[in-house]
Structure 1
């Protein structure tokens, strides 16, 4: 946004300050001056004609080519603007103003980031101190935007290369190192990702997103104690979740506590998370809280948490499935069936929900329970993770222990 505003300012004041004249014919200079006056009056078509006359009279009039480029920009004829800028620097290879404006056009309007990089690099070769260092900032922005584009395309190696270029230009920018870490993590270069995230947090110790990302990385790589420390730093940096994504530090810290048999700590952390969570994240917080209660075998509390999750996201299949599981543990079989049936609408939880429904019928044993249990277990056979369990359950229903088998 700032780049666009700055570009607009440059456009409005474009030709008020001009570089020193190169030697051009008096007739060409006169046409150029006429073009300037017309440009200031916003008579862009007339200005363009004057600038074109200027270069016809003297093809070495670089200022006139630049005037054409700026006028084409006003007329939104961007291909012609680019071509005119290129003519300007072709005639005057040290024309830093033309390189600068061409780079801005490529960066902010055309989003041709690689070409913008080339323009800014050419400028810096001529005058490294032009615009008091602003060019380096624009070049960094071109690297970052190019990297973001590659990241969206899931070309993580190229994204990382662009972010690396940006860090070389400015090794003090924590956000660039954070982006670099994300690219390396997506490419599964975990050591490089860790180094980048660590640099980001060293540069900005209150960088909650970087601490959380580092925690996620440690969690992925099963380094739970480091993950816990990083998540705590993320929460300490943004305890009230002013940055909405910080809530994931709470959730994932709760998950790490639960997976390391510290469910009581998970419950305490997630209860705090409920109070600071953005509304659109509360369902996930309550699901994590319910799961922590389940691990402690506090099934009534789990039912309460999963029910709260469904108040915020009534179609959440994970909440339905886990609610069904908690009801099953409490022997609330009808409630378990009701929730499990709703969970079958999700491809992720369809099979587990059918297996759970089989367990409910097997435990409850209402009229027709055998056929219903077997029908649900058969649907569980489709998933290799549940296949052996379902085969055994079907076999036990069809051949219960203690009954005679024919042929003996």
Structure 2
């Protein structure tokens, strides 16, 4: 017998399991559905990253899944499935406040009453979990892994970071990616490791993944300059020229300690060419 279920039920499985709701006994994952018509390239990228996120969720690699769904939502801000599943991944990580924001956005964007109701149900359950978390870092809206890191672990993270930077210099981008991923797993708040991993991803031409790393580095250290340049390079490679130009201009005007004058001059030239 073929069981047909709504998209809302299929999308909310991970969140329902985490938030304490009973999961449906039989679910059929339907193909991605977008509530508006974006450009073909953006739609293709969003669909691709959603598929990546689905695989990562099944493998319980929730942090990476969140990045994949975030990339999808950046590619197409009106993509309901991307928003809904980003909320799921954030909820699994215990990041309830941001999960609620994504589900509320999905509810606003859709005209499907079942999806809207499912999003609202998830929001209600997440608010209960959020209240139960009390004064934990997650409840306060801090990223997962923001707690203290033991000194031996910190030392291992820094060694992995340095190895990653060395491998970038050797143009061993795949090896660098492996080392830098180890660094951020050991020390999730190590912003320079995300910036370096963005460079490794650019070397591998994985531009959406690079953009996600640079964006997260900026979240961790909003006053740093290096992620601005890397994010500009990622966006330019993805054809997002207006955003790239703005980031080049921000880097060119930056007075941050990590800014490099030769790159500032280059940024001004690139920004001018993108006008």
TM (normalized to structure 2)?
Answer: 0.39
Larger Rg: 1
TM (normalized to structure 1)?
Answer: 0.27
Identify, as 1 or 2, the structure richer in helix.
1
More relative contact order, 1 or 2 (CA 8 Å, 6+ apart): 2
